[in-house]
Structure 1
Amino acid sequence: MMDEYNLALIVGAVLSVLAAVSHVGVIVAGPAGYRLFGAGDRFVRAAEAGRVFPAVVTLGIAVVLVIWAFYALSGAQVIEPLPLLRPVLCAVTLIYLLRGVVGPFFLINTGRSTRFIVISSAVCTGFGLAHGIGLLQMWGRLA
């Protein structure tokens, strides 16, 4: 039965969900969570001041990651095909890979920690590779 599904896209979906849960955890942890996960100084200060925008932005990212997970599951044929499946999976893969490979050059001097830049870039590259491998494997079967 597992042969029917694409393992790489299932892994990609799980990784996206884990990233979404991590983002929600940062919100729950508050300023310490933002600091621990290497958010920019502006976000940390805003969270310390009780401002809502760090939580709104972080929650928005979590929601997008969950949507991406559903698309990966759809591409893996675990759930029914979602609209624009192939172009969305291409976009998700490209975004993860660009964030992972090119992102560090844009994140330098933004107030984010070097640890955040290195770890998040490696993570995004891995996520992009999982999605890319699955996308290539499923290309002919995607609508």
Structure 2
Amino acid sequence: MPTDKNKYLMAAAISTTIAALAHLGCIIFGADWYRFLGAGEQMAQLAENGYWYPTVVTSVLVAVLLLWSLYALSGAGLIKRLPLLRLVLCAIASILLIRAVGFVYLIPFFPGNSLTFWLVSSGICLVMGAFYAVGTYKAWPVLKINRY
């Protein structure tokens, strides 16, 4: 484990945890949170009418984001080393950065989301992806598997 904590991966963990908590807020507080966070009127109405779909989709997102936070904490040396650490951190950074710049291709699949939602969420993904990418790059030698 590194002696100097990786501030970029710590920021990645914090920002990803905040994103998970915001999504959890949608589950707990319902349709108004879905609307406020820009998930689209259809998701808000489904939540309002008690359908399972928004809760399941949002729960999966919360779980994934919390898992990503754990990987960032592991890469920062704050918790035990998790399996496939370098690969997973690279994958997380890639997913977030691709989501940040590739949102124009996603818009047609989610017509209920506003342009503001796409711009804000893409900006957040860009910042988080940069935290993961820079943090992983800085920790790369430390993350190398010691074979001896």
TM-score by length of structure 1 reads 0.93
Distance in 1 between residues matched to 2:9 and 2:25, nearest whole Å: 24
Answer yes or no: is 1:125 the counterpart of 2:87.
Answer: no
| Partner of residue 64, structure 1 | 64
Of 111-120 and 101-110, more deviation after overlay is shown by 101-110
Answer yes or no: is 1:110 the counterpart of 2:102.
Answer: no
Counterpart residue type for residue 32 of structure 2: A
Question: Which of structure 1's runs of 4+ aligned residues deviate more than 3 A?
Answer: none
Superposed counterparts of 1:77-116, under 5 Å: 77-108=77-108, 110-116=111-117
Of 98-107 and 70-79, more deviation after overlay is shown by 98-107
Distance in 2 between residues matched to 1:27 and 1:90, nearest whole Å: 29
Unaligned 5+ runs, structure 2 = none
Distance in 2 between residues matched to 1:121 and 1:104, nearest whole Å: 10
Q: Across the two proteins, how many residue pairs are aligned to each other?
A: 142
CA RMSD in angstroms comes to 1.5
TM-score by length of structure 2 reads 0.90
Distance in 2 between residues matched to 1:46 and 1:81, nearest whole Å: 40
Unaligned 5+ runs, structure 1 = none
Shift of residue 59 of structure 1?
1.2
Counterpart residue type for residue 40 of structure 2: G
Counterpart residue type for residue 49 of structure 2: A
SS of residue in 2 equivalent to 1:82? coil
| Partner of residue 7, structure 1 | 7
Distance in 2 between residues matched to 1:62 and 1:4, nearest whole Å: 29
Shift of residue 104 of structure 1?
3.4
| Partner of residue 47, structure 2 | 47
Shift of residue 49 of structure 1?
1.4
| Partner of residue 32, structure 1 | 32
Kept in 2: contact 1:104–1:121 (CA 8 A): no
SS of residue in 2 equivalent to 1:4? coil
Distance in 2 between residues matched to 1:3 and 1:85, nearest whole Å: 18
Shift of residue 42 of structure 1?
2.4
